[in-house]
Amino acid sequence: MGTAHANFTVNGRLHRLCVDPGEILLDTLRHRLGLTDVKWGCREGACGACTVLIDGRATPSCLRLTATLSGAHILTAGGLIAEPLAQDIAAALENKHAFQCGFCAPGILVELFALFSRAPQPSADQLEQALSGHVCRCGGYPLMMEALLKLNAP
């Protein structure tokens, strides 16, 4: 195994990896790099739990092959810790008690960070669209929407 090369940064750190061509980014991040802040609920693109930023775009990491990502800049939820915007979003959601089991939270934070980065005051439609790829089985959606609409009010 390990026949393809991939060089990219994750949370600012450069990695040069030799990977199996079929390896998905999710496994690279969790198993190879030990980034357990990336969660997974399906490994088939259906739940959004594994979402990371790839060059600023929120993407389910289970749907990307690591070998195709040379040159990319990847950020995980844990990598956003020093971002004031991410702190604002997380605090607003926590304040509404939007997360219960919390398993969907890192993926959702990454998604919202991407959204607020390009649209600092997203509309309800934009918020819904961003959240539409994320399953929260605990049913936090209405509380998330409430928290986020308040956050974007100037």
Partner 1 sequence: MARSTGTAAFGFDQYVADIQPPGLLYAALARSTKAYAQLEKVDLAGALSTPGVLAAVDGAVFHRKVGMIPTSRDEPPLALDVVRYVGEPVAAVVAVTPEAARHGADRVRILYRSLPFIPDIQASATGATTIHASMPDNILRDVRLSFGPVDECFSSAQRIVSGSYSYAGSTHAAMETHGAVAWWRPEQRLWIWSSTQSPFHLQHNLACALDLDPAAVRVLKPKVGGGFGGKCETFSHEIVTAQLSKMLNRPVRLILTREEVFYTHRGRHHALMDLRLALGSNHEILAIDADISLDGGAYAGLGVVTTHYAGQLLAIPYKLKALRFRSRRYFTNAPPAGPKRGHGSVQIRFAMERLIDKAAVSLGIDPLVWRRELALAPGASTVNELKIGSTGFGACLDRVAGASGWFDSSVEGEALGVAGSAYISGAAFPIFPNRLPHSQAMLRADRSGLFTLYTGVAEIGQGTEHAMAQLAAETLGQERHRVTVLAGDTDACPVDLGSYSSRVTLMAGKSVIAAAQEVRKQLLRAASARLKIPVEELDIIPGRIVSKADEGRGLSLKKAIALAEEQAGLVLGTGHYRPDMKPAHYKGSALGPSPAYSFSAAVARVSVDKELGLIRVLDLWLAHDCGTAIDRKSVLAQLYGCAIMGYGEALLESTGLVGSVTDPVALIDYGVPLVGDLPRIHPLIVEAPDPEGPRGAKEVGEGPLLPVIPAIANAASRALGVDLDSIPLFPDMVLEMYSP
Contact footprint for ligand FES (CB under 6 A): 40-43, 45-50, 60, 62, 99-104, 136-138, 140
73-93 in b/e form (b: 16+ CB < 10 A) is: ebbbbebbeeeeebeebbebb
102 binds partner 1 (CB under 8 A): yes
> Minimum CB separation from partner 1 for residue 12, in Å?
15
In this structure, which long-range contacts are made by residues 139-147, counting pairs with CB atoms below 8 Å and at least 24 apart in sequence? 139/100, 140/98, 140/99, 140/100, 140/104, 143/93, 143/96, 143/97, 143/98, 144/93, 144/96, 144/98, 144/108, 146/96, 147/92, 147/93, 147/95, 147/96, 147/98
Q: Which does 126 bind (CB under 5 to 8 A by kind): partner 1, ligand FES, none?
A: none
Nearer to ligand FES, 7 or 36 (CB): 36
Pairing of strands 4-10, 13-19: antiparallel
**Choice from 19, 25, 38, 148 touching partner 1 (CB under 8 A):** 38
φ, ψ for residue 53 (rounded to 5)?
Answer: -95, 125
> Minimum CB separation from ligand FES for residue 103, in Å?
5
> Minimum CB separation from partner 1 for residue 64, in Å?
17
CA 62/CA 46 separation, integer angstroms: 10
> Minimum CB separation from partner 1 for residue 149, in Å?
13
Which 72-91 positions form the footprint of partner 1 (CB under 8 A)? 76-78, 80-81, 84, 86-91
63 binds partner 1 (CB under 8 A): no
> Minimum CB separation from partner 1 for residue 103, in Å?
3
How many residues of this chain bind partner 1 (CB under 8 A)?
A: 58
